[in-house]
Every structure is written in structure tokens, then in C-alpha cells.
Amino acid sequence: MVVVFYLLIWGLAQPEALNSVAIPAADIQNGKQPNIVLILTDDQRWDTLWAMPTLQAELAKPGITFTNGFVVNSLCCPSRASILTGQYSHSTDVYRNEFPHGAFEAFNDKSTVATWLQEVGYKTSFIGKYLNHYEGPYVPPGWDNWEAFNGLPAYYGYGLAINGEIQNFGREESDYSTDVLANEAVSFITNNEGPIFLVYAPYVGGG
């Protein structure tokens, strides 16, 4: 069983979506936890999905669409903090994208969905953009595999903090970040029997 979430972060992120799929207690007891893949794009408008026919056919059509989505704070970092914790800004202290009261520096990452799932046997992986101002090689708690943009995300000429080390990428065709990250995500999925929790958050030109 694979549960896939695709969230658009720009006034449409819904931390409640992570709570909308109930895992039967019997499945947990029998070791049948679902694999969870969260695909997270940044600054993408909902009405741009017309240009993504594969996503519509493979995810949207057979899945569930939340026609009434609400967010308390429609900014990148507050939404990401809420997704990771299930809490609103008054609890996370992440109200905006810049410090203070915002960005990576303001986020308490000690207790998140990653630490919770890791504690019950999940293999966890974060691949892509974390919170603004994040710089490695720091790896937040709860992540078995960590491959996050180091500093500013980009398509070319960027760095990745990969499990405690920094790797820099240039401007060759093979350095295109969406492909690099997608390959890493596929590798994590195929090399782990599960249950897995994967956050795949490619750069799409947003802030």
C-alpha cells in the first residue's frame, strides 16, 4: 500500500491532509503500515496543473482532491513547519520566511512527523528544499536519509547537504536538480522494503 500526497505550497498547504488517511490499528499490529510519499512543490498555483498531464492521470484522477483547502499562514516556511508538525504558527513560532519568527532558525525540529514515524519502524527520507536559510551539513532528527538544498535552491549551480556532507553541482545537463533529486527519490524507494516515509520537494522557481 502506498499513500501519495501532492501539496502545492502557496496558500493551499493543508497539514490536516496528513491526518486524513487513517491507518487501521490492525494493520499496524500486523506490520502492514503503508508507504507514504509526500510530493511537495513550492510557489505553484493550483491552476498550473493543466501543464502536468502525467500528474493528473497518475495521481489526481485516481486520488482524492480537497476542494476546500485552508491554511492559516500562506507562506512557504510556516506551511512547511505545519506540515512537519501538524501545528499552527502560534505553536511552531514560524510565522514568516525570515528570522526572527521564521525560516529554519526559528523552527524546532526535535519532534516532527519524521521522528514519530521513525520511532514506529519507518525508514525516512527528505529530498529537496527544506526551510529557508537551511545550511548543512546539519541533519535534523528523524531522517534516515537526508538530501536537502544547502542554502538557496536552484536548477543549476547549487549544493546539497547529503547525510552530513556537502556536495556541489555545476551547470551540466546532468546537474539539473529536478532530475538529480528525482533519481535519489526513486533510489530510496527501490532500495528500501518499507515501510517508508519520503518527502520529495523539488525546486520549482519559488522563494
At residue 73, the pLDDT reads 85
Mean pLDDT over 94-111 rounds to 96
**pTM of the full structure:** 0.84
The band of 14, judged by pLDDT with boundaries at 50, 70 and 90, is very low
CA 87: distance to chain centroid? 16
Residue 98: C-alpha distances to residues 11, 102, 105, 139 (Å)? 17, 5, 9, 20
The band of 144, judged by pLDDT with boundaries at 50, 70 and 90, is very high
Q: Is the pLDDT of residue 6 over 60?
A: no
In angstroms, the CA 130 to CA 139 distance is 11
179 within 8 A of 203, measured Cβ to Cβ: no
Tally helices (H) and strands (E) across the chain.
7, 7
Out of 61-65, 115-119, 203-207, the most confident range is 115-119
Contacts of residues 56-65 at CB distance under 8 Å and 24 or more positions apart, as own/partner, are 59/4, 59/6, 60/6, 63/4, 63/6, 64/20
In angstroms, the CA 111 to CA 113 distance is 7
Structural Rg of the chain based on CA atoms: 16
What integer best gives the mean pLDDT of the chain? 85
Query: Which candidate, 41, 32, 40, 24, places its Cα nearest to that of 2?
Result: 32
Residues identified as active-site: 76
The band of 27, judged by pLDDT with boundaries at 50, 70 and 90, is low
Of residues 32 and 178, which shows the higher confidence score? 178
129 within 8 A of 161, measured Cβ to Cβ: no
Mean pLDDT over 134-157 rounds to 97
In angstroms, the CA 66 to CA 133 distance is 30
In angstroms, the CA 100 to CA 207 distance is 17
Of residues 84 and 28, which shows the higher confidence score? 84
**pLDDT tens-digit series, residues 48-80:** 888 989 988 988 888 887 777 777 788 899 999
- DSSP assignment, residue 7? E
Mean pLDDT over 149-166 rounds to 97
At residue 55, the pLDDT reads 87
